[in-house]
Amino acid sequence: MDDVTVVTQRLQTRRDLTTAAVRLFTERGYDETTVDQIAAAAGVARRTFFRYYQSKDDVIFPDHDDTAAQVAAVLDEAGEDEDPLQVICRGIWQVMRMYVADAELSVTRYHLLRQVPALREHEKAVVSRYERLLARYLLERAERETAQGSHTVDRPLLAEVSAAAVVAAHNHVLRQWLRSGGQSDVEAELEHALSLVRAGLANFSVDAGAQQPETLVVTVAHTGRTPSEAVAAVRAALASQK
All structural domains of the chain, each given as residue ranges with its CATH number in brackets, are 1-60 (1.10.10.60), 63-213 (1.10.357.10)
Length of the chain (residues): 242
Contact present, 85 and 169 (Cβ < 8 Å): no
Span 8-58, pLDDT tens digits: 888 889 889 999 999 999 899 999 999 999 999 999 999 999 999 988 888
Contact present, 210 and 152 (Cβ < 8 Å): yes
H-run or E-run covering 92: helix 84-101
Span 51-96, pLDDT tens digits: 999 888 888 887 888 899 999 999 999 998 899 999 999 999 999 9
Q: What's the pLDDT score for residue 221?
A: 45
Backbone angles phi, psi at 177, to 5 degrees: -65, -45
Contact present, 233 and 225 (Cβ < 8 Å): yes
Span 121-168, pLDDT tens digits: 888 888 889 999 999 999 998 887 666 555 555 778 888 899 999 999
Span 188-207, pLDDT tens digits: 999 999 999 998 887 655 54
Average pLDDT value over all residues in the chain: 82
Query: What would you measure as the largest C-alpha separation in the chain, in angstroms?
Result: 97
